[in-house]
Structure 1
Amino acid sequence: MLNTLSGRFLILTVIFVMLAEVFIFVPSVARFREDYLLDRLERAQIASLAVEAGPMISPDLESELLKNAGVFNVVLRRDDARQLALSSPIPSPISATYDMRDPSASTLIRDAMATLLDTQPRIIRVIGDPVQGAGRLIEVTMMQVPLRTAMLEYGLNVLLLSAVISVITAFLLFLAVRVLLVRPIKGVVDHMTAYAAAPEDARRIIAPSAGVRELRDAEVALQAMQTQLTGALKQKDRLAQLGGAVAKVSHDLRNILTAAQLFTDRIEGSDDPLVKRMAPKLVGSISRAVHLCESTLAFGRADEPAPRLDHVNLSRIVADVIEGERLAAGDDPVSFAEDIPATMMLRADEEQMHRVLTNLVRNARQAIAATHRAGEIAVTAAEDDTSWCIRVADTGPGLPTKAREHLFQPFQGGARKGGIGLGLVIAGDLVRGHGGRLTLAQTNENGTVFEIKLPKADFALSPTND
């Protein structure tokens, strides 16, 4: 019970209600004491009027009047004359005097607490204003014990009533918390438990239903997280299935390309000048296709082969990529430019760097071709003491919003109709395998710029810092 939210709320409610009642108790007891003393003054004044009404009263009648008033003697002051209206023997000296003529709240509370704490049978004097203006003041002496007894009885009644009120209030709040908070929270926990048992099942995603705004916000956030997680799990499942299918396709396609490679070896012996010029390109393309088929399954396993680092000439790789894309462009109004120092040597895997640049240049060519307007693709490079920097810029229409949001996510970052969004993912993985990074430097209606940075030392570049 104590470890539950509703149980602790119940206990705290009782404590706070009782604390509030304590703050009410003190002024209530002080007010009760004031009323008690004023009542004794009024009774004493009435008793004194009975004395004034008759010329002589017997000692027994005077004693009875004082007993009914609860005092020992009564003194009235009219004008400047002080008159002892009723009197009887006082058992002990007067120990304190209390003036009830317009006392302050702090004075009443202080005197009330002093009376409650004082257990001695003391005699006190009380001064007040007579009712109906019958004189300047009235003064009585009385025992403090009956006053203290009445105050204690009243205080106990107040505390008992406060305890009953606090218990009822706490119970009602307990029920309210159970209905409004605990039950909805338990429902959210049950939803989370059920979802955890089968996160791929979209039917188990929570449907926000709480009436409390904060709980509903939590349910909405949980629903968004579960929806995203379920989508990610389904995507991973599709990727796993795709990996199995790609493995089979790669196996058969590799056999077909191997046969084609044998035929191209014979074509290289032709005397036709055009064939001699094109044959090496064809052989290189088929060789890369065979290599790609052999390593395609690695992407499905998220285990791209480690790059075989060597010193390679970047200018030669870029020229080969551009020549291949120029042939693929055909009649499309796309021009190519390159500004690569002829002597720039990279420490990289030549085959993987060829794939990276091919993906970037091909994406740029296809983006420009889709607009049916003339455009240019430029590949530039520079280096400093720590890294090489390669930039692929185009004058295309820029990347759409969805492509920017899912730029390096497979099957979501496609920038053109019919694209599957794998080119940039593969390029990014290959660059990271070199310890570098591939970033989108700029994209707008005037074009797009991708930047590749490769480290010269044996360390990986930070994703965000140079």
Structure 2
Amino acid sequence: MGDNAITDPGRGQARTVPLARGLSTKLLVLTAIFVLLAEILIFAPSVAYFRLRWLEERLGTAAAVSVLLVQNNSPGISREVQDEVLRSMGVKAIAIRDGGESRMLVASEVPPQVDEHIDLANTGPVLAMREALDTLVFGGDRILRVFGHVGDSEKEFELIISDHKLRNAMLTYSRNVALLSLLISLFTATLVFYAIDRIMIRPIRDMTRSMLTFSQAPDDPASIIAPEPRADEIGVAERELSDMQQRLQRTLGEQKHLADLGLAVSKINHDMRNILASAQLMSDRLGMVKDPTVQSLVPKLVRALNRAVSYSEGVITYGRTQEAPPSRRRLRLRQTIEDVQGLLGIEPEGDIEFENQVDPNFEIDADSEQLVRVLTNLCRNSLQAMAGDKEGAIVKRLTISAERNGSVSRILVADTGPGLPQKARENLFSAFRGSARSGGTGLGLAIAYELVRAHGGTLELVESVGGRTVFSITIPDQPVRLDEARSSLRRPA
């Protein structure tokens, strides 16, 4: 029957399923019980049929003796011979009915009363089963009158007989049936057990062991179950379990990678803050230089350093919790995009064109720093995509435009790059999975997506074909509180 013990190493103590309580043993016992129940249901009609056949045989023998006695004139046969014939048959008396007349042929003794009359020709199945069970349980000392026709004879024969030998024969038959039923049930249960154990129980046991092993070492590729090439439900379950374990293993690997990355970033952040602080001090000293070119670049440098310091200080906070909620204000979007252009470092004489098509008076309700981060990440991805094209005749243009529909602002970031591959589209906003270039992390789009969602907006890919990729940023205005709106409409008395 195989070893049914299963150990759970992931708990504080070993947990096993004893063989006596395993599925295999339960299956064997239940199969044997069900077969025995079927045999019990068959037993009642079987023993009833045995009883009727036993009585029919005695009546047939009595009929043969009756014919012999009639042909040889029974008075010529001695009393001793008649008694010997009746004793050998277990019969007390034999009679024949012919033409409406009944005649006693031979009798060893005439009982004072008859306990049961049995008409073999008119005994139905239900009556036969009831009388058979009655004889089997309560019989043994009753006198029976059995009558009926034998073969094609028009004569009706009857005999008076004790049910003692009948009950003994029925008990012997019942014992044999019980032993045979037990053997059949055990044999059938064994066959069913081995068949179902090989088809179902063993695969289920293997899946259980695989789950327990996987829970102990989810990073071990050997703990993933190897599904069998089966087309039934067990095969489907094994394949689904294998796929689930593989997906979970990949997810755990990504989580570990994120944890390692967070630790590395935290270490880098500690030293980066000191470097940025030194850079801030030097930018302050640059502000004292009278050169016009330096004076035009210092404000942009100061803003870039301030943002870098802010991002660096927020790294650890982000690792502990999530991004801070946006501090929303009314912004002039064109000026914000100009700041982004300065951070990107696009040279005017370079091969990549940058077009800021936003109206100077266009306003948006957003967090300034977070919006800069969103646009910077999207624009850097576009620049990296277009930088891969080395042919000089290819147009490389990054365009940012905006439109307003009621209280909803929409920013479009479009480039003339090669477009996103299918794999990048399937995992567009997933960290470490949505990168469009080799070696990329996909963090830029993931961060941008999270920041836009924090504003209650959406970030989506509108179009991506060869020569045109468009991202859409949709940010709704903050809802106006009714009490504040009413107070602003009130006129002073």
* TM-score, with structure 1 as normaliser: 0.78
Of 414, 424, 433, which aligns to 2:445? 424
User: Aligned residue for 1:6?
Assistant: 24
| Native 8 Å contact 2:95 2:159 kept in 1 | yes
User: Aligned residue for 1:135?
Assistant: 154
User: Aligned residue for 1:23?
Assistant: 41
3-state SS, counterpart of residue 94 of structure 1? coil
User: Aligned residue for 2:255?
Assistant: 236
Number of residues paired by the alignment?
449
Of 367, 370, 377, which aligns to 1:352? 370
Of 160, 170, 179, which aligns to 1:160? 179
3-state SS, counterpart of residue 93 of structure 1? coil
| Native 8 Å contact 1:438 1:451 kept in 2 | yes
| Native 8 Å contact 2:429 2:449 kept in 1 | yes
| Native 8 Å contact 2:328 2:365 kept in 1 | no
User: Aligned residue for 2:478?
Assistant: 456
Q: What do residues 310-362 of structure 1 show as CA deviations (whole Å, max 9, x unaligned)?
A: 5242525643356448863853366453379745444x3x2122212322344
User: Aligned residue for 2:111?
Assistant: 91
User: Aligned residue for 2:460?
Assistant: 440
1:54, CA displacement in angstroms? 1.1
3-state SS, counterpart of residue 260 of structure 2? helix
1:35, CA displacement in angstroms? 1.0
CA separation in 1, counterparts of 2:96 and 2:409? 109
1:22, CA displacement in angstroms? 0.6
Q: Which moved more, 1:363-372 or 1:4-13?
A: 363-372
Q: What do residues 135-170 of structure 1 show as CA deviations (whole Å, max 9, x unaligned)?
A: 343333333343233223311221122123323443
User: Aligned residue for 1:69?
Assistant: 89
User: Aligned residue for 2:71?
Assistant: 53
| Native 8 Å contact 2:365 2:476 kept in 1 | no
User: Aligned residue for 2:221?
Assistant: 202
CA separation in 2, counterparts of 1:191 and 1:343? 59
CA separation in 1, counterparts of 2:159 and 2:335? 117
Return 5+ residue gaps in structure 2 as ranges.
Answer: 1-18, 481-493
Of 49, 60, 66, which aligns to 1:42? 60
3-state SS, counterpart of residue 23 of structure 1? helix
Of 418, 422, 428, which aligns to 1:407? 428
User: Aligned residue for 1:331?
Assistant: 351
Of 307, 332, 335, which aligns to 1:288? 307
Q: Does the C-alpha gap of structure 1 residues 178 and 264 become closer, same or farther in structure 2, counting only changes over 3 Å?
A: same
1:26, CA displacement in angstroms? 1.5
1:126, CA displacement in angstroms? 2.6
Q: Which moved more, 1:149-158 or 1:284-293?
A: 284-293
* TM-score, with structure 2 as normaliser: 0.75
CA separation in 2, counterparts of 1:129 and 1:449? 101
User: Aligned residue for 1:379?
Assistant: 402
CA separation in 2, counterparts of 1:121 and 1:27? 23
Q: Does the C-alpha gap of structure 1 residues 182 and 218 become closer, same or farther in structure 2, counting only changes over 3 Å?
A: same
Instruction: Note the aligned Cα RMSD (angstroms).
Output: 3.9
Q: What do residues 395-427 of structure 1 show as CA deviations (whole Å, max 9, x unaligned)?
A: 767644322332332211113455320112222
Letter of the 1:456 counterpart: Q
3-state SS, counterpart of residue 18 of structure 1? helix
CA separation in 1, counterparts of 2:165 and 2:428? 89
3-state SS, counterpart of residue 91 of structure 2? coil
Q: What do residues 106-132 of structure 1 show as CA deviations (whole Å, max 9, x unaligned)?
A: 44334433443544744333333323x
Letter of the 2:346 counterpart: A
1:211, CA displacement in angstroms? 7.3
| Native 8 Å contact 1:408 1:425 kept in 2 | yes
3-state SS, counterpart of residue 72 of structure 1? strand
Q: What do residues 24-68 of structure 1 show as CA deviations (whole Å, max 9, x unaligned)?
A: 212211211121111011111111122023132223323333333
3-state SS, counterpart of residue 160 of structure 2? strand
Letter of the 1:440 counterpart: E
- The residue correspondences of 1:103-252 to structure 2 (distance < 5 A) are 104-119=124-139, 121-131=141-151, 133-171=152-190, 173-174=192-193, 181-208=200-227, 213-252=232-271
1:20, CA displacement in angstroms? 1.1
Return 5+ residue gaps in structure 1 as ranges.
Answer: 459-466
Identical aligned residues as a percent: 35
CA separation in 2, counterparts of 1:296 and 1:186? 47
| Native 8 Å contact 1:399 1:448 kept in 2 | no
| Native 8 Å contact 1:92 1:123 kept in 2 | no
